[in-house]
Structures are given as structure tokens and as C-alpha cells.
Amino acid sequence: MGNVVIVGSSNTDMVLNVPDIPKPGQTLSGNCFTTTGGGKGANQAVAVAKASTDKQETYFIACIGDDSLGSIALASYKAEGINTKYICVESGVSSGVALIFVADSGENSIGINPGANAKLSPDYIEAAGEAIVNSDVLLTQLETPIPAVLKAMQIAKSAGTKTILNPAPAAELPEEIFALLDYFTPNQIETEMYTGVFPESEDSARQAAEVLLAKGVKNVIITMGSKGSFCMNSEQAEFVPAIKVKAIDTVAAGDTFNGVFASAIARGETLIKSLKLATIAGGIAVTRKGAQDSAPSLEEILNNY
Ligand code: RIB
């Protein structure tokens, strides 16, 4: 009861802390370099596992390479209590890598080599379909091929598993996918790409949400950075303000938000309570360095609720 399956990417993040993000042609000295677990899918899986109860299982469907980075990633997912049975090891392919600059302001800039993530195919999703059928919620993003994301959504829909799509990084989507989405969680830039409306206020967020609801999405959740998030469905519309914190590293804050939201929805929490828990978790995550390391435990989230 309350199981969550994440379909998505696994990366190793190579992070350099710098005073400012270097401009084209500029060389800057950093003050700290770390190699750590990353990838939007993996970050979400770790956030789910940390924010779930002992009764909830977290499945991760992903592809890694047969290299040392892949082995380290796999061991770390197991250590977090994630069910890794459906992680495929592709031979002769390198694992995903992200090169990240984090500025003193907390902002970041990321370049990715997808490696094995690009091998996640609809056939592989089909083979791992029992994990989707055995889950209450499916959470995906767009750092793996879109045909695989679509296949996962289709399997979830026929099995009655609730679906969440976090469209990051933004990419063109087949129109048919929107009607398969129980929850769609774009940020402001992604929202503009899918609707043509930049949601800078509650009013414009409502306008954008109306466009997405008309496409067939059941619940729209627009994340608006340090302002908070706006959610809307056919019956309710509500703005959930962010918590006030001093951000030092925003990497994976959105992943933590989505993971904690998925875990709460899978436990049967209401839309608004799930959003509040996700907001607290995202707020805590930006006060700490790292992607997966910054995700809080369920106890910590509840202590701040
Ligand atoms: O969302 C943050 C993540 O984006 C990083 O961990 C990096 O791996 C990229 O996938």
C-alpha cells in the first residue's frame, strides 16, 4: 500500500561550486568540487524513499552502464532502500553524467551526457511493467526517451496506477500523453512552453492551468520557485506559498518536491496536504548542498508541517 514507481534517469553529478556561473569564454576558479549521485529520476526515487513509511515500497526503473559510476549508483540506491530489481545494466555503454556549476547565489547550470539513460526503451518498460502495475503512483520526468515515458503512462492508466509527469527538462510531448496524466507538474518556463502563458502571478497561473486542463490533464501543479505553487483541477484552485529559507544550492529542489508529492499522494493524503509536504521538502532541500543528499526524511518534513 502506498508504493511508488519512478521511471527515469540515473546520473553521476560532478559539481563545481563557483562564485558566479561562468560566461562563454570565461574561466573561473571554483572553491569546492564533489562527485555525487544525481539524475532527475534517481533524485526523485531517493526523495520518495526518504519521505515514505516502512510500509511503502519505492521501485526505480532505469538504465545504467556497466562501468564503475553505474555500480556506485546502484549500491547507493540499494542503501536508500530502493527496489533496484528493474534497473537494467547496459553493457558497453557509459552511465549518465552531469557537469554542474553551482553559484554562490544557489543558482545552477547543468550539462548532461545521457549515456545509458538514452537506452531506456518502450520494450524495457513493458518488461518491467509489473512494477508499474504493483504501484499506486507512477512518477516520471523527461530525461529519458519520451516513447518510454509514454509506454509507462499507458501501462499505468490501464492498471489504475495514478500518474505524475514532471516535464523536466522541457521537451515536445505527444498530444495523447496529456489525457493520461493525473498530475502534471511544470515549472514556470515549462508551463510557458506547453501553454504559451508565463505564470508570473496567480491569475496567469490559472490561465495556463486552464489550457492544460483542456488538454485532458486532471490536476495541474505549477511550481513558481520561491513564490510557491499553484494547483488546479475541475473542482478547486489553490495557491500554496513557499516556505522562507536562505537558498544555497537549488540543484534537485524540484526533484525533491516531486518525489515527496508522489509519496504523499500514494499514501492517500489529499492534494493540498501532499503539496504542503512537498513544499516543505523542497524548501529544506535548497538549504543544503547536493542532489540526493539534500532530500529530507519523512520525520524532518513532518516536524516542519
Ligand atoms: O534536477 C537536477 C538533476 O538534473 C541533477 O542531479 C543532474 O544529474 C540533472 O539530471
Cell numbers standing for residue 236: 478547486
Give pLDDT, residue 250. Answer: 87
Residue ID of nearest Cα to ligand 1 atom 10: 39
Using alpha carbons only, what angle is made at residue 229 by residues 58 and 42, rounded to the nearest 5 degrees? 25
Q: What is the CA(301)–ligand 1 centre distance, in A? A: 22
Q: Pick from 100, 141, 144 the residue to mutate for probing ligand 1's pocket: most ligand atoms within 8 Å of its CB.
A: 100
Q: Is 193 exposed, middle or buried (0-12, 13-18, 19+ CB in 10 A)?
A: middle
Which portions of the chain are predicted below pLDDT 70? Answer: none
Q: What is the CA(236)–ligand 1 centre distance, in A? A: 32
Residue type, 100: I
Give pLDDT, residue 247. Answer: 87
Query: pLDDT digit string (tens) for 34-58?
Result: 999 999 999 999 999 999 999 999 9
Give pLDDT, residue 249. Answer: 87
Check if 255 is active-site.
yes
Stated pTM of the model: 0.96
Please give the number of the atom of ligand 1 that sits closest to the Cα of 98.
8
The candidate with the shortest Cα–Cα distance to 93, out of 119, 111, 60, 73, is 119
Give pLDDT, residue 118. Answer: 98
Please give the number of the atom of ligand 1 that sits closest to the Cα of 38.
6
Helix, strand, or coil (residue 123)? helix
**Gap between the Cα atoms of 242 and 7, Å rounded:** 27
Cell numbers standing for residue 162: 495514478
Query: pLDDT digit string (tens) for 182-220?
Result: 999 999 999 999 999 999 999 999 999 999 999 999 999
Give pLDDT, residue 157. Answer: 97
Give pLDDT, residue 290. Answer: 86
